[in-house]
A and B are shown apart, each in its own frame.
Chain A
Amino acid sequence: DVKVTQSSRYLVKRTGEKVFLECVQDMDHENMFWYRQDPGLGLRLIYFSYDVKMKEKGDIPEGYSVSREKKERFSLILESASTNQTSMYLCASTRTGRNQPQHFGDGTRLSIL
């Protein structure tokens, strides 16, 4: 079974802090994704990566950056956290191939005070 592990289940940070969310997958997947999920808005893609050191903006990249130094790890960085970044953050990974589903981690509920 694919395992996608997010470093924290719950996280509380203060406005202006630099925040790191980590995600690790154990199935050698090429592609990794970061989403946020908010009530009424569904899952929205922040950034994704299709290879080591490669990254592409999703639909809502403002205020975020990412890092993929190793194939198994994809980090989401909030450069200067703001209250409107309070959300559930979900990481996913998938093998390349059109019928390959994305596999999700359990999510990190991030609160910015």
Chain B
Amino acid sequence: GQNIDQPTEMTATEGAIVQINCTYQTSGFNGLFWYQQHAGEAPTFLSYNVLDGLEEKGRFSSFLSRSKGYSYLLLKELQMKDSASYLCAVRDGIKAAGNKLTFGGGTRVLVKP
């Protein structure tokens, strides 16, 4: 089975840094995705990690440790528009057909002025 945990909510100040943690226990592993979802909108792809280490994309970075079943998404220089939910999703390594993902419950980030 799959179990993915992330905090429900986080609050941070504009210009600051926020780190959203995601831990997973899965029957297989074939990559981890982070998505951003603004209220009332579709999730949009942010990052993908399959090897250990840090992937940087502008203000957003994502880290993976496969041995610890742990990932984080780092948001730097926070802007008001970063207020959204952030979804962690793991790709099943057991059954590769279909690119099936299992999602965590999402972390709602509120950026305050």
Q: Hey, what's the 0/1 contact readout for A90-104 against B, CB within 8 Å counting as 1?
A: 100011111111111
Chain B residues positioned under 8 Å from A100 (CB to CB): 99
Chain B residues positioned under 8 Å from A98 (CB to CB): 30-31, 50, 91, 96, 99
Chain B residues positioned under 8 Å from A50 (CB to CB): 97-98
Does the CB pair B96–A105 fall under 8 Å? no
Decide if the interface of chain B is mainly helix, strand, loop or mixed: loop
Question: Could you tell me which B residues sit within 8 Å of A by CB distance?
Answer: 30-31, 33, 35, 41-45, 48, 50, 87, 89, 91, 96-106
| 8 closest Cβ pairs, A-B complex | A101-B45, A104-B42, A42-B105, A50-B98, A43-B103, A94-B99, A31-B98, A50-B97
Question: Could you tell me which A residues sit within 8 Å of B by CB distance?
Answer: 4, 31, 33, 35, 40-45, 48-50, 56, 58-59, 90, 94-107
